[in-house]
Amino acid sequence: MNLVTVTSGEGSPNPAGHRMELFIINRSGVTVTPATAAFDAADPGADMIMTGDFTFASDDDYFRTIPVVVDSAELVNALVGEIGGQAFSNELGFFLASTLKDKLSFASNFVNAYVIVAVKDRNDNLRIIGRHDDPAYLTELSLTQGKTVGDRAGGEYKIACGTGKIAPIFSGTLRIAAVV
């Protein structure tokens, strides 16, 4: 086991939650996912950083920006499994407002899709869920119109991936537009 000296963080802000945007790309649009560094006792946390950039299948492939409802995105890295087989499960939940035709099409086309997702936390760390060879996928989706004025209308999504590791922090540049 690699032990890391952990500082207290006392007196430092630690805001919970995520920003109002997700970035999603189909697995087929990425040919190489950046790697994380090896554990280094001299640089605690370096093994949680994904360095380099994604390699895309074509200039037309990029992460699409998906606006989500404020304070609805939550990334959970949970320890699962029995001793001797423990690993981390990554789950990202979010709410996408409205059931207009574009949101319905997004929901319909997300079923059985394999993706890589990026979400920025409030410490401005861009966390990556999934890889080109071990992608994330939709595990839950509930669309609602609400019942009356003031009810929430839209889609409650949950995405998961089984990489077995905590979702790393991406330090590269995320392509969010086609190359022209």
pLDDT of residue 5 exceeding 80, the answer is no
pLDDT of residue 54 exceeding 90, the answer is yes
120, amino acid identity = K
When pLDDT is averaged across residues 107-121 and rounded to a whole number, the result is: 95
d(CA 50, CA 127): 9
pLDDT band at residue 106 using 50, 70 and 90 as cut-offs: very high
Cβ neighbours, 10 Å, residue 163: 20
pLDDT, residue 40, reads: 83
pLDDT of residue 149 exceeding 80, the answer is yes
Residue 2, in any domain of the structure: no
Contacts of 121 (CB under 8 A, 6+ apart): 17, 18, 19, 75, 127
Residue 6, in any domain of the structure: no
Cβ neighbours, 10 Å, residue 138: 16
For the chain, what is the domain count? 1
Contacts of 106 (CB under 8 A, 6+ apart): 66, 96
Domain that holds residue 95: 18-170
83, amino acid identity = I
Residue 132, in any domain of the structure: yes
Three-state DSSP at 30 gives strand
pLDDT of residue 14 exceeding 90, the answer is no
Average pLDDT score over the chain: 92
Q: Would you say 119 and 19 are in contact if contact means Cβ atoms under 8 Å apart?
A: yes
Residue 11, in any domain of the structure: no
* Tens-place pLDDT, residues 123-140: 999 999 999 999 999 999
d(CA 56, CA 60): 9
